[in-house]
Amino acid sequence: MLIFSGSSNLPLAKKVANQLGSPLSKIEIHTFPDRENRVRIIDKVLDKDVIVVQSTGVSPNRFYMELFFILDGLKRSGARSVTLISPYLGYQRQDHIFRSGEAVSLEVIVNLLKTLRVDSVISLDLHSLRIEEFFKTKKIKLSHLSALSVFAKEVEKIAGFRKRDMVSQPVSASSNVGRQTILASKTLDYNDIVLVSPDMGGIRRIKQLAEMLDGKFPYVSIEKNRDLSSGEVESVKINGKVGKTAIIVDDMISTGKTLIAAADLLSKNGAEEIYVMATHGILSGNSSQDLQNSIIKKVIITDSIGIRPNRRFGKLEVISVANLIAGELKATSH
């Protein structure tokens, strides 16, 4: 099995290749002065099963065109099968017609992948369940993975930090109760930590995460209004009780406006610490600066999208999904 990578997320491709014990195969991607790309497959792929790693982010048009040329080059060179690893699938939010006259852009992408003879696709936390139907209709095998398992570990870490902070609180000198007795009583109230869906569409996701955590943490959802023309978001109502620590979980961060609006509403309703966890860090526009300046304590994303240095900020933490992807490849190769 040969592994090729486009230029969108080379660090993740290298991590996946290392997990599989295989080096990245050689490919040449040249960009002309007018920004056209030329792609050449260097390693021999005749009758070989190949993997292509290419995500999209703030430059979906550029990375999709690059991907299409890679796929065409592989098939012209005789590759037996092609598995596309696209952790973040660009245009997935355009999976149906919102207003009359709009294109269903994601369906166009899937049609192109079929035309270029992609056999299977591995992706993470797709925006809606209807996306799977596009691939099923075109008879492209889709492995839909989720980063919730890695987020569950992060939630447990945050809970552990809170418990450690509680038991390390100093004992009042005037107390007649022994220090050991006081520390023993400082148990963590899980109701102080609440999982949050920033909109009604994420309720299924937040319920799944709560189940992974054995139901120890309550969850709430936020109702929001969005202007389809301007994209402006207003969080208007919380369905449930807010704890002292709120952990917002979402599938992606684009402008960050939804998350910042949700954090502000949570703060007004009693949350003292607010964390954000999201699979895909698109981080478009001024989102990095806006999130850094917000009341959010930490933003945790995965490396499903390559994060450029100018998009990073102090509150940002990136965790890898290479193990998830490599595990899926190992499972499906047997």
Catalytic: which of 224, 237, 297, 315? 224
Provide the 3-class DSSP secondary structure of residue 195: strand
Q: In sequence order, what are the beta bridge partners of 280?
A: 252
> Measured in Å, how far apart are the chain's first and last C-alpha atoms?
12
Pairing of strands 37-41, 27-31: antiparallel
* 207 given a catalytic annotation: no
Calpha distance 44→323 (Å, rounded): 27
Calpha distance 86→144 (Å, rounded): 10
Q: Is 21 left (phi over 0), alpha (psi -120 to 50) or beta?
A: left
Please check whether residue 27 is in contact with residue 54, taking contact to mean a CB–CB distance below 8 angstroms.
no
Please check whether residue 310 is in contact with residue 141, taking contact to mean a CB–CB distance below 8 angstroms.
no
Residue with tokens 């402006």: 232
Positions marked catalytic: 224
